[in-house]
Copies of this chain bind each other. A is one copy, B any other.
């Protein structure tokens, strides 16, 4: 490009931004439009309940109004601990309508981690489902400062749990103004949400999304999935995961119907598909596995093809093939919390249609090519950022750049700087580029364990193991598992003269000190193999774990 800039030209004189021609991008507007265009259409199904688009919009404005009246505004954080219920969808609009930032919490976390997140994220309000009052009650007890606590007392939930807050969610909405005059962000770079990763090392990191990226990824989902207008979308993917990969916003942009689901079970999935004529759902490979292996009494015939988008771990080709055999059509995407969920998709080429089923599945198991809104994707040398040859063999780190890369890590400029070194986001994932330009992951960054759609840090487990009085050394690796994808396998060397300890003892200890799902499923006792400089050789442990 020439050195002259456009500034010198008449194209930049008298042609500036004004209210008529510039509006900061925000996905909130998709709901306003859906309410205007399809006011009577069902936006949300939850049990026997139906919420129209007009009503959903009014409820979101009520929520915004009520939060605003209680002092919530720009720069504030509002945390939500809830399964996939209407309140969670509404929070994706009502919270940013006040200018505040949505912090959806992983409801599988333990109280200590929740307390950490509430404090680090600076939440001034918390909306929490009664189901999680146990862990939330403990977390609040550990959190200094006063939060506005709002309970969701969902009639669809009949289990144990108590109200913790000063007001119930529906009561709060009743105080709000359905015509609340929300405004979009003054700047599309403004934060819309905060999502904590489980973090490979140490404490969770808060990934900050902005309105611009949420808008663009919400639209890109439609393109990548070729979504028609008015899909019926089943909420199998937790909304705390990368804001449900931005689908709370996507579905409004296409005037679709959200089918809520408190608990993800094969029977419930098949029942919803049959009852509501579900057309689309998303899920980690573990959810696909659950569907494929559903017991006969839970199965229903899938009359029309149901579109399934999968991400969260590399899906085994056998699972893809089995799903397609019973009437589901799989779109495989790949991403990370740092890139608003999926940012890469295995874009299908028609010439692959002719291949045998297992070859098709193997091709579809590759991660693929950049989303239309991701401007750069490459497999490159982790240090020099020199792209690797497109030979399907030479491994490198996966790098991304573009408008759906996070703002950065909250209150952690050094981590942000490291993640963005060289002007690219360092995913920490290892892969190859095939000659056709499609990338394929070969390994996650070594320490991560992907279990049932969750990322588990081996170091976090090791730190827990080290708290056990009998443990001398510990290392945790991923072990392949048919059900969970991977499970944590712990190698433990006991202190000389320690009391006898069993596998069950170690597992129970971990479950008592961290979220249950993070506890190792297997424990092996004995000395750990080390390099000459004393580093534990995890690749050897991985081999051993998978040979068990």
Contact = CB atoms under 8 A, between A and B. Distances in A.
Interface of A: 1-23, 25, 29-30, 33, 36-39, 68, 71-76, 98-99, 101, 122, 182-183, 185-187, 189-191, 208, 219, 222-223, 226, 228-230, 253-254, 347-350, 369-370, 372, 375-376, 400-403, 405-408, 410-413, 416, 419-420, 423-425, 437
A190 B11 contact: yes
Nearest to A408: B15
B98 A18 contact: no
Contacts of A74: 1-2, 4-6, 9
A33 B208 contact: no
A254 B223 contact: yes
A423 B72 CA distance: 29
A99 B36 contact: no
A-B pairs, top 7 by smallest CB distance, nearest first, are A9-B75, A2-B73, A19-B423, A14-B413, A21-B405, A15-B407, A20-B420
A2 B71 contact: yes
A211 to B, nearest CB: 11
A347 B185 CA distance: 27
Contacts of A253: 223, 372
B6 A191 contact: yes
Given A9-B75, A38-B347, 4 more contacts: A13-B413, A17-B189, A20-B400, A219-B219
B10 A411 contact: yes
A222 to B, nearest CB: 6
B6 A99 contact: yes
Nearest to A180: B1
A68 B2 contact: yes
Contacts of A230: 350
Contacts of A416: 14-15
Contact of A420 (B21, B36, B190, B405): B21
A310 to B, nearest CB: 18
Report whether over half of chain A's contact residues are helix, strand or loop; otherwise say mixed: loop
B375 A23 contact: yes
Contacts of A2: 68, 71-74, 98-99
A33 B372 contact: yes
A75 B23 contact: no
A19 B223 contact: no
Copies of this subunit = 2
Given A5-B74, A23-B403, A98-B1, A420 B223 contact: no
Contacts of A403: 21-23, 25
Nearest to A186: B5
Contacts of A413: 13-14
10 contacts: A6-B187, A6-B191, A10-B410, A10-B411, A11-B410, A20-B425, A25-B403, A33-B372, A223-B254, A226-B228
A338 to B, nearest CB: 9
Contacts of A75: 4-12
Contacts of A190: 6, 11
A449 to B, nearest CB: 26
A74 to B, nearest CB: 4
A226 B223 contact: no
Contacts of A76: 9
Contacts of A420: 18-21
Nearest to A9: B75
Contact of A20 (B5, B17, B191, B424): B424
A21 B223 contact: no
Nearest to A413: B14
A282 B72 CA distance: 48
A341 to B, nearest CB: 15
Nearest to A426: B20
Contacts of A182: 1
A437 B14 contact: no
A250 B99 CA distance: 33
A225 to B, nearest CB: 10
A122 to B, nearest CB: 7
A435 B186 CA distance: 32
Q: Which of A76, A98, A375, A412 has its CB near the most chain B CB atoms (within 10 A)?
A: A375
B73 A401 contact: no
